[in-house]
Amino acid sequence: MEVLAFGVQADEKPLIERAFAGRHGVRCLDVFLTEDTAPIAAGREAVVTSVNCDLGARVLRTLAAGGTRMVAQRSTGFNNIDLDVARELGLTVARVSSYSPYSVAEFAWTLAMAVNRRVVRAANRTRDFDFRLHGLLGRDLHGRTAGVLGTGRIGTAFTRIAHGFGMNLLGWDVQQNPACLDLGMKYVDKDELLAASDLVSLHVPLLPATHHLLDAAALKAMKDDAVLVNSSRGGLVDTDALVVELRAGRFTGVGLDVYEAEAGLFFLDKSLEGVGDDTLARLMTFPNVLVTSHQAYYTVDAVSEIVATTVRNVDDYAEGRRGENVLVPSADGTA
């Protein structure tokens, strides 16, 4: 079977080509799947996509009209896919249900420590041989409180690291995780967690119920000197409301690996043309804000696992099996 992979980073290409070798033919493209690029997939039974590809109704209809029958998304999130339309068209849709939780949890802590200890500002100064300490004052995390919104596999990995720092642990989730309870986590409602936490980290999926989980009211409930980290999905935070709070001088630091309007920006080189997104541009002006381009998952361990699962999903479809990662089964229900 011939497979077309969209939005493939240079580091990912050899991993994908090796994984598919001897199983299916694969062509890797660095462009993302959009209404403009969807016709390229004509004649390819399966396409492999990333979280920043557009899999809305118009794109799915174009794919189906061109003969595509299977979409394999190489991410856990699938909020970019119109599953109802995929079902209507008889397209099989699969995702990567899980991969190394340590990649994201460790990067969330990288962001937290970087903004708490002013690492980027310090590095920029020393590069110019400015060795002053003014403005670089951070805080010990030992003895302070970490609030973890979402205590699944990634949230639990984040919690273990917080426990290693000697922090007090607060959690919020639809159900309590025994592994987190064993670490001393206390589950509380969201408002109590936000009001009491010195560090708040988001580890929940983006669903209609979690969209703008941190809205204007929630952000105002946080401590003025809190650290906020989002390495999950951009839509969990109301970015305009966050800018308002930052302009008011609140928060010790904010680390964002995701942004709610990142599609069409992240993973692309915009250095020569600039960015017309005023909200993102405003975020970049705050010295206590660090934005990275959705790279928390980007370790050789996690990407290799993602690719291996994606190949397995394509194999399942090709052999008529309905795998555990299927979001929308084939029209006959076998895959």
Mean pLDDT by 10 residues, the chain (335 residues): 94 95 94 96 96 94 97 91 96 94 97 97 96 96 98 98 98 97 98 98 95 98 98 96 97 97 88 88 95 95 95 94 88 61
Token code pair at residue 335: 């895959």
For the chain, how big is the Rg over CA atoms in Å? 21
The residue type of 275 is: V
Q: What's the CA dihedral at 83, 85, 89, 94 to 10 degrees?
A: -10
Where do runs of H (alpha helix) occur along 21-164?
57-65, 83-89, 101-116, 119-127, 153-164
The 10 Å CB-count burial string (b at 16+, else e) for 195-217 is ebbbbbbbbbebeeebebbbeee
Candidates 44, 74, 203, 294; catalytic one:
294
- Write out the E strands in 52-130: 70-73, 92-94
Any idea which residue has 């920006």 for tokens?
265
pLDDT value at position 275? 82
Domains and CATH numbers, the chain: 2-99+299-328 (3.40.50.720), 101-291 (3.40.50.720)
Candidates 45, 245, 260, 262; catalytic one:
262
CA distance linking residue 175 with residue 152, whole number of Å: 10
CB 97, CB 78: distance < 8 Å: no
Q: Which residues fall within 8 angstroms of residue 133, CB to CB, at 6 or more apart?
A: none
pLDDT value at position 51? 87
pLDDT value at position 102? 97
- Write out the E strands in 87-150: 92-94, 145-149
Catalytic (active site) residue 262: yes
Q: Which residues fall within 8 angstroms of residue 9, CB to CB, at 6 or more apart?
A: 30, 267, 298
The residue type of 185 is: M
User: What are the two backbone dihedrals, phi and then psi, of residue 327, each rounded to the nearest 5 degrees?
Assistant: -95, -40
Any idea which residue has 């690996």 for tokens?
257
Catalytic (active site) residue 160: no
Q: Give the DSSP H or E segment for 170.
A: strand 168-172
CB 229, CB 113: distance < 8 Å: no
CA distance linking residue 318 with residue 86, whole number of Å: 18
3-state secondary structure of 101: helix
- What's the pLDDT tens digit per position in 37-77? 999 999 999 999 998 899 999 999 999 999 999 999 999 88
CB 103, CB 240: distance < 8 Å: no
pLDDT value at position 326? 94
Any idea which residue has 């029958």 for tokens?
69
pLDDT value at position 273? 86
Distance of CA 13 to CAs 129, 166, 245, 288, Å? 39, 40, 41, 35
Q: Which one-letter DSSP state was computed for residue 257? A: S
CB 303, CB 15: distance < 8 Å: yes
pLDDT value at position 333? 59
Across the chain, mean pLDDT equals: 95
DSSP codes of every residue in 243-255? HHHHHTT--SEEE
Candidates 74, 118, 233, 312; catalytic one:
233
pLDDT value at position 331? 63
CA distance linking residue 281 with residue 251, whole number of Å: 18
For residue 65, the number of C-alpha atoms closer than 13 Å in the C-beta half-sphere is 10
pLDDT value at position 94? 96
Token code pair at residue 55: 């899999």
Q: Which residues fall within 8 angstroms of residue 100, CB to CB, at 6 or more apart?
A: 299, 301, 302, 305
- The pTM is what? 0.90
pLDDT value at position 332? 62
